[in-house]
């Protein structure tokens, strides 16, 4: 058991990997190669993935000591709700690729740890099935816009009815990235049926299926997933359709952050999709400071891409993120040990964050935001 004054006690088996590289290696041992490579890999030559890591490694912080850190408060507030930890589960599609319990295992872990959970459009289980597991837990619904817009509006309405608290519209996936790893071995998880959860139960999708619009549901999903026609004009329509807060995921340019605010958006996620979409993009962490500057506290700014340790989370929070979304690490935890694995990963990240805050002389999120960072120039 790992335990100290503020760290939460958590039982972790000796053989459960602690650092990210070991997590990845263990997941590789367990998963079929295609499933593993789909999770690990990125777009093109994986320059964006490398830039994510380089960005984290190029920031160093200067601790200020002899502050009382005998009690550490890691709580945050989002859309009027308070959470004990500054983390969010990033939306990750098709969790049955890692474990038969898929998203059901993840939401169980999320609700036990009281960490908000963002469910993907292309989940293996439907948004209703996931909500049923933890009706009172805070859930967001991540929307991939559909070519047939009524399907998107139908999914928003279903998410609202099932108690989801926000819509996360992902805007960096107008088409799927050029994923060389998947292409090399001709791996297409979408065509394997793992993404069906939200589609097969959707009334509009089903109507089109029965009307013969698609030959089968996989055909229908594939037809709907690319949405290169999505523009700023849609945001107004989406805002009109729902009372829920709408966040945009995939913001990197401060001009887009300004446009988002002008469009009445309720929150942003600074992200390059973990380097899976567009290759040759700046590290997500390098985009963060300019965005928090223009947003200036008007809406929450969340962050993801490349957060693989408690120290990484510390740096993103110090650079102004209001919360940090975790992607690949929990997915590897799911592959290794299901719900328990997801909990282990998140608790390791959390306990390392608490240790880092204590050693760095910061006892709250407010103080963490005042930490001085130095950027070294170690770009490749
Ligand atoms: C993702 N991500 C993602 N994002 C999204 O909006 N909808 C989705 O369905 C998915 N699916 C998905 C699958 C897999 C296997 C991964 C690894 C990622 C992106 C995710 O939300 C997040 O932006 C990244 O995972 C963050 O980068 P790191 O933390 O994985 O480096």
Question: To test ligand 1's pocket by mutation, which of 221, 274, 275 has the most ligand atoms within 8 angstroms of CB?
Answer: 274
What ipTM was reported for this prediction? 1.00
- Grade residue 1 by pLDDT with cuts at 50, 70 and 90: very low
Closest protein CA for atom 18 of ligand 1: 92
DSSP per residue over 87-126, as a string?
A: EEEPP-S-GGGT-TTHHHHHHHHHHHHT--EEEPTT-SS-
Cβ of 328 closer than 6 Å to ligand 1, yes or no, is yes
Within 10 A of 174 (CB to CB), how many other CB atoms are there? Answer: 16
More confident residue, 12 or 272: 272
* Residues forming beta bridges with residue 119, ordered by sequence position: 141
Is the C-beta atom of 274 inside 6 A of ligand 1?
yes
Give the chain's end-to-end CA distance (angstroms, integer). Answer: 40
What secondary structure does DSSP assign to 229-257, as a single string? T--HHHHHHHHHH-SS-EEEEEE-SHHHH
Q: How confident is the model at residue 5 (pLDDT cuts 50, 70, 90)?
A: low
Residue 148, token pair as written in the block: 């047939």
Whole-number pLDDT of residue 6? 64
pTM for this model (two decimals): 0.96
Looking at residue 380, its pLDDT comes to: 46
Q: Is the CB of 320 under 6 A from ligand 1?
A: no
Contact 51, 286 (CB under 8 A): yes
Q: How confident is the model at residue 69 (pLDDT cuts 50, 70, 90)?
A: very high
Ligand 1 centroid from CA 380, angstroms: 25
Average pLDDT estimate for 143-156:
96
The mean pLDDT of the chain is 94
Residue nearest to atom 10 of ligand 1 (CA): 92
Structure-token match 């837990």, residue found:
137
Distance 141 CA to ligand 1 centre (A): 14
137 catalytic per annotation = no
Indicate which residue of 99, 137, 227, 273 is catalytic. 273
**Of 98-102, 158-162, 163-167, 213-217, which gets the smallest average pLDDT?**
213-217
Q: What are 220-265's pLDDT values in tens digits?
A: 999 998 888 999 999 999 999 999 999 999 999 999 999 999 999 9
Rounded average pLDDT over 195-219: 94
């Amino acid at each position: 058991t790992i335990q100290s004054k503020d760290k939460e006690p958590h039982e972790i088996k000796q053989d459960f990997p602690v650092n990210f590289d070991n997590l990845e290696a263990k997941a590789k041992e367990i998963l079929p190669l295609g499933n593993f490579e789909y999770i690990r890999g990125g777009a093109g030559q994986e320059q964006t993935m490398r830039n994510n890591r380089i960005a984290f490694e190029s920031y160093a912080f200067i601790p200020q000591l002899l502050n009382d850190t005998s009690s550490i408060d890691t709580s945050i507030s989002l859309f009027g709700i308070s959470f004990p930890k500054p983390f969010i589960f990033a939306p990750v599609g098709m969790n049955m690729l890692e474990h038969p319990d898929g998203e059901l295992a993840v939401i169980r872990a999320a609700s036990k740890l009281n960490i908000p959970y963002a469910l993907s459009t292309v989940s293996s289980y439907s948004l209703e099935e996931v909500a049923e597991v933890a009706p009172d837990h805070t859930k967001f619904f991540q929307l991939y816009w559909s070519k047939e817009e009524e399907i998107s509006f139908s999914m928003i309405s279903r998410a609202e009815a099932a108690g989801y608290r926000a819509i996360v519209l992902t805007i960096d996936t107008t088409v799927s990235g050029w994923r060389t790893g998947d292409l090399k071995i001709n791996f297409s998880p979408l065509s394997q049926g793992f993404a069906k959860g939200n589609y097969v139960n959707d009334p509009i999708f089903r109507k089109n299926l029965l009307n013969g619009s698609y030959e089968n549901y996989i055909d229908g999903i594939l037809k709907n997933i690319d949405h290169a026609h999505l523009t700023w004009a849609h945001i107004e329509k989406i805002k009109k359709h729902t009372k829920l807060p709408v966040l945009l995921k995939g913001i990197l340019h401060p001009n887009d952050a300004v446009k988002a605010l002008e469009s009445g958006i309720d929150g942003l996620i600074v992200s390059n999709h973990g380097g899976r979409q567009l290759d040759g993009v700046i590290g997500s962490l390098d985009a963060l400071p300019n965005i928090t500057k223009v947003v200036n506290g008007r809406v929450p700014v969340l962050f993801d891409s490349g957060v693989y340790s408690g120290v990484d989370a510390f740096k993103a929070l110090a650079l102004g993120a209001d919360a940090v979304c975790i992607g690949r690490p929990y997915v590897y935890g799911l592959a290794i040990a299901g719900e328990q694995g997801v909990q282990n990963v998140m608790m390791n990240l959390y306990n390392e964050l608490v240790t880092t805050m204590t050693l760095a002389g910061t006892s709250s999120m407010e103080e963490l935001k005042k930490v001085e960072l130095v950027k070294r120039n170690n770009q490749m």
